Structures are given as C-alpha cells and as structure tokens.
Amino acid sequence: MLRLPRFRYHEPVTVGEAVRLFAEAAPDAAYVAGGTDLYPNMKRRQQTPGTVIALHRIPELRAITGAPETGLTIGACVTLTELAAHDTVRARYPAVAHAAHVVSTPILRNMGTIGGNLLLDTRCNYYDQNYEWRKAIAFCMKRDGAICWVAPSSPRCWAVQSSDGVPVAVALGADVTLVSVRGTRRLAASGLYRNDGIQYLEKAPDELLVAYHLPAIANGGWRASYRKLRRRDAFDFPVLGVAARVDFAPDGSVSAARVVLGAVASYPQEIPEAGAAIVGTRLDDGAIGAAADAAYRPAKPMDNTDFTLSWRKEMVRVQVQRALQDIRGQAR
C-alpha cells in the first residue's frame, strides 16, 4: 500500500487566508482542492509538501456566476461532476461540459475540480510510477534525476499535458484569475502553459487559481467541440485530445477558428494552420479535410503514453475531422 508522507493540513475559509497560509509555509507548501492529482503524486513521492492547504471550505471557489451573454465565471473548486451537469454550461458551453464529463470515472469527477484539471501535472510512463520503480531504473529529470527517459539526449523533460479541460480552455479563448499575497492577475488560458514537462505552468507556485472565465456568446456567433481518444472510455487519460472553436459570420461562413491538440506535447498545442484552412469556408468536407491535414503535419506525439506514437499521429487527422464535423452539426 502506498502511504502519504506526513504533512500539516489547513482548511482556510477565505482566499485571503489561503494565500497567507501558503506564503508563511512557502516554498514547502501546496494547495489542494479535490486531491485526485496531488495525493497520488504525494504517495509516489513525486511531490512532498510539508504543508497542504485545502480549498474546499472557501465559498467563492464553489460558485458559478455570470451569464452567457457577458461570460460565465466558474469557481476553481467547482467539481467536474457539477460542471458537467450545470444546465447553462451544458446548453451554451457544451464542449466545456463534455470535457468535464469524460474525465476519469464518476467517483473521481465527484472529487476532482475544474481548477485542478486546468493545473494538472504533466504525465509520463516513466514518471508516473511509484518511488521504488523510479529508483530502480534511475530517477528522471522531472523528479530526483538528470535524464529524460523519453528522449535521453534531450536537455528538457518531455512529460505530456494530459488534461481534458486545458485544450478546451485554450480553444475557447478563456481566461483564469490568479491570486497571491502580491496581488491578483487575470491572464488568457493560452498564456498559462509552457512547452516543458517540468516547468509546465506560467504561474508562480504561491499563486492560487481562483476562477475560470468562459467567453461571452454574442448572438450565438461561435461553436466549440471536444474529442478525446483513449483506450478505455470509462477511465483513461487522453492519448489525444482535440478542441476546436469556430466563429461564424452572419452569412454562415467561418470568420475565425482555433484548433488545439492535447496529449501530444507538454503544452496544449494550437495549430494556427488548421484554423486558417477553414476561414472563409462553410465547413464543407474539403475545408475540414484541409484543416485535418494541416493539424496532422506539425503534431509530434511522444512515446510516453499508451499506444504507438505513429498511430496517435494518424489519429490527429481523424479526430480533428470529427471535432469540426461536430461543430458543423451544431451550426446547422
């Protein structure tokens, strides 16, 4: 049985109290919401904070406020189950609801939060093992070692971004709000992630993600979708995620588009060429095929998750086609 290391535990009731507690314990501290990522990492000794600050008693982090016409704000501690079942999210932001619904299992979705999903640790077949296994082969550079076992000659870690919510957040053009004792800042979700398996967040360790801001829907002018590929539909992390947003002009043609890939790199990889391939079209089969081809070319899955990397690359074309076909069906 894997056991948690010893740690101090706090349950603040305000954001101000939470960030103060973190500042007092830093750098040996961590925030926890549902714990579905942090606690397993602690059991594997991948993260060993001496102080854990729980967020579930802070009311403002559990609320969903706003309206589609002006934008929806989702508290970071809203669970994935709550998000997937929320009437407004399901009706007006179906890609967000679907991405939450396909995370793991019902039990984990009942605990896991949208904030935790947006900050999910990067994953790798070599890294996501217990301490003794990793020690036996020699630790990797992501924790305790100096080599990346995925690409041994590489100077950087190639652990992969495997969140379902992240590609959707980037494709939609969503924002997040971060708070620390130094103040509050809001930034685009696309600016939150780095292409590095270790330093994968553009966020200071003491900053607390408090809110996820979905963009306004003006006159129903855009649609979005999310497609997930995995071995077991009832459980697994994605080996490929495709999120797409398409904006429509009054005449029904595409005025702007974004296609973002998850689980193929250490960050959510936007493919501008794929979006550009459908601008000015009416999402006909030829345009969708061109976008899929454009997404396929730069996609370079690493050999650090399930299935072969060559097959995962081939599936980029298939899943981009399906995601855009979903949006075409919504628009009609």
Averaged pLDDT for residues 144-160: 95
Question: If you search the block for the tokens 């100077």, which residue do you land on?
Answer: 155
| CA–CA gap between residue 168 and residue 270 (Å, rounded) | 11
Burial class (CB in 10 A: 0-12, 13-18, 19+), 34: buried
Strand ranges (DSSP E) for 57-152?
64-67, 71-75
Q: Quick one: pLDDT at residue 332? A: 74
The model's pLDDT over 173-191, given as tens digits with 9 standing for 90+, comes to: 999 999 999 999 999 999 9
- Inter-axis angle of helices 309-331 and 285-296, nearest 10: 150
Question: If you search the block for the tokens 């298939």, which residue do you land on?
Answer: 318
CA distances from 112 to 117, 118, 169 (A): 7, 11, 17
> What confidence category does residue 1 fall into, taking pLDDT thresholds of 50, 70 and 90?
confident
Q: In sequence order, what are the residues at sequence separation of 6 or more whose Cβ sits closer than 8 angstroms to the Cβ of residue 123?
A: 159, 160, 162, 237, 304, 305
Domains parsed from the chain with CATH numbers = 59-119+160-214 (3.30.465.10), 222-331 (3.30.390.50)
128: nearest Cα among 44, 23, 237:
44
Q: Respond yes or no on whether the N-terminal peptide bond of residue 155 is cis (omega within 30° of 0).
A: no
- Is the predicted pLDDT of residue 234 greater than 90, yes or no? no
Q: Quick one: pLDDT at residue 220? A: 63
The model's pLDDT over 276-305, given as tens digits with 9 standing for 90+, comes to: 999 999 999 999 999 999 999 999 998 888
The model's pLDDT over 312-326, given as tens digits with 9 standing for 90+, comes to: 999 999 999 999 999
